Structure 1
């Protein structure tokens, strides 16, 4: 009987201690709750991506300015400038070789690719190959510049889309224990709550 009373007494103390501990933890949690103001989001504008793309198509970099990404404007103009520079450089080289080729066809021996003794530094077939090479490089420069121009428009459009993507400040991943009543087994997992 004495052991039974002592077991009941220990059980009673454990139960009341557990209740007091739960009350203390509830008080502690209630005291720690601080209400933060809800973040303010811009209202959704479905035409904003199209507007940013249009601005970038009219003037490269203007769509980035519309999105507030001013640091991208020098990158856009540098990339376009590099493409234009290579086009102009290849065009100048093409003109040099073409003028020398035309001069040789006219029978002149005074082009820049003939040395002082009158011997050609570059043969006529070499001049033709150089013209083909620089013509191809001019075309590639045009394609690269147009590609950079298109990327400028795509970047402004995608950036305007992503600015309107609402991301909550409360991103949480909560582990959960799911008890299956029929099989008597516990199922472990993670719950991810997604609100639209």
Structure 2
């Protein structure tokens, strides 16, 4: 009786595992996406979002360039040169700090976006394939 119970319990536990095949949707690894995102735009490239990567790199470059420009203007400020310095010295300091914050925000946004996109990559592929097959067969969404 004990052997029959063990065999029945084994079948109940093993049979569902036999139906599990390989996942047809290749998921992105969020950990790799996070490591790739250490380079601005790298996580978006890993996830296959090249336009987003271009946008992140461009915005990061513009913010970094503006930060460097205002930092240089602040460091070399000459109150007698009105043509090169139309603003007061403290305005260049404020602008430098503002662009430094933007550099940080864009960098963190790129990392979070890459991580979220990697987590949601199977969702969009599964939802896109099931919706497309239902619409082709003429069935309505339930």
TM-score by length of 1: 0.48
Q: 1:112 aligns with which of 65, 81, 94?
A: 81
The equivalent residue for 2:20 is none
Q: 1:72 aligns with which of 47, 52, 71?
A: 52
Aligned positions of 1:1-196 closer than 5 A: 41-44=24-27, 48-57=29-38, 59-97=39-77, 100=78, 111-112=80-81, 130-165=88-123, 166-167=126-127, 168-169=130-131, 170=134, 172-173=140-141, 192=142
The equivalent residue for 1:21 is none
Gaps of 5+ in 2: 1-22
TM-score by length of 2: 0.64
The equivalent residue for 1:6 is none
Higher helix share: 2
Once the two structures are TM-superposed, the CA of residue 44 in structure 1 deviates from its matched residue by 4.6
Once the two structures are TM-superposed, the CA of residue 83 in structure 1 deviates from its matched residue by 0.3
Gaps of 5+ in 1: 1-39, 102-110, 114-121, 174-191
1:62-114 Cα deviation digits (max 9, x unpaired)? 211211122222212110111011111211221232xx36xxxxxxxxx535x
1:105-147 Cα deviation digits (max 9, x unpaired)? xxxxxx535xxxxxxxx9xxxx9x8221111111110000110
Larger Rg: 1
Is the partner of 2:30 in helix, strand or coil?
Answer: helix
Aligned pairs, how many? 108
Asked if structure 2 preserves the Cα contact closer than 8 Å seen for 1:64 and 1:156, the reply is yes
RMSD of Structure 2 on Structure 1 (CA): 2.6
Point out which structure has higher relative CO (alpha carbons under 8 A, 6+ apart): 2
Higher strand share: 1
Once the two structures are TM-superposed, the CA of residue 161 in structure 1 deviates from its matched residue by 1.8
